[in-house]
């Protein structure tokens, strides 16, 4: 089952040069996003070819940027926060492309302009069933939600904004428990649950 993950980085640097020695601070919690990519794409000995991760970098300077990792075609990315952040750093050196125009940086890694609304629009056109992760949502039962492909929207260490909540109001909010878990932990649980029904 193809699964997609969209993570919103509200403070994540969208242009310029990342400080790879301070991913949790001056780079706007890029460490949170790098962990999400790591969990979303990698197995102990390999890559999940059925998984895609889109990071939404909204912390400026300049326009917001999306960076996508496609498990089926990704090459040269290693399961390490600093290594993943190095690839993000390369992407940030490029001017942000127009909204909806995905420019490949190298195999399986692309960047584009646009916010979560653009990702939602693209997912809808591809027939992706969309869910929003929310501790106050209904319990997620993968046996009842076995659409293919399926997409999950997560926030970073900050709550969704009012505008984001409005753009996601038509989608089911699902919960993995009453505790607010870290994003990469949520991704691991979703992978486990979806793997269990395959």
Residue spans of the chain under pLDDT 70: 146
Token code pair at residue 171: 């989608």
Domains and CATH numbers, the chain: 3-195 (3.40.1280.10)
Looking at residue 111, its pLDDT comes to 96
Whole-prediction pTM value?
A: 0.94
Looking at residue 193, its pLDDT comes to 92
Looking at residue 3, its pLDDT comes to 95
- How do residues 103-122 score in pLDDT, each as one tens digit? 999 999 999 999 999 999 99
Tell me whether the omega of the peptide bond preceding residue 61 falls within 30 degrees of 0, making it cis. yes
- In the chain, at which residue ranges do the beta strands (DSSP E only) sit? 3-9, 42-43, 46-47, 51-57, 65-70, 103-106, 109-113, 129-139, 150-155, 172-175
Looking at residue 26, its pLDDT comes to 75
Looking at residue 177, its pLDDT comes to 85
Are the C-beta atoms of 86 and 30 separated by less than 8 Å? no
Q: What is the DSSP string of 84-132?
A: HHHHHHHHHTSPPPPBT--EEEETTEEEEE--HHHHHHHHHHTT-EEEE
What is the Cα–Cα distance from 194 to 130, expressed in whole angstroms? Answer: 15
């Amino acid at each position: 089952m193809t699964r997609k993950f969209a993570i919103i980085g509200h403070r994540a640097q969208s242009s310029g040069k990342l400080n790879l020695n301070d991913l949790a601070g001056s780079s706007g919690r890029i460490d949170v996003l790098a962990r999400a990519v790591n969990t979303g794409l990698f197995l102990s000995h390999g890559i999940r070819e059925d998984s895609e991760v889109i990071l939404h970098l909204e912390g400026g300077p300049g326009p917001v940027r999306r960076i996508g990792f496609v498990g089926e075609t990704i090459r040269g990315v290693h399961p390490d926060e600093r290594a993943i952040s190095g690839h993000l750093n390369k992407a940030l050196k490029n001017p942000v492309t127009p909204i909806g125009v995905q420019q490949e940086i190298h195999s399986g890694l692309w960047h584009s302009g646009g916010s979560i609304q653009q990702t939602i629009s693209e997912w809808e056109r591809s027939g992706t069933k969309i869910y929003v992760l929310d501790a106050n949502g209904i319990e997620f039962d993968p046996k009842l939600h076995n659409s293919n492909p399926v997409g999950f929207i997560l926030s970073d260490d900050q709550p969704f904004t009012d505008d984001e909540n409005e753009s996601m109001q038509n989608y089911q909010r699902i919960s993995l428990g009453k505790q607010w878990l870290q994003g990469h932990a949520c991704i691991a649980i979703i992978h486990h649950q979806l793997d269990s029904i395959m």
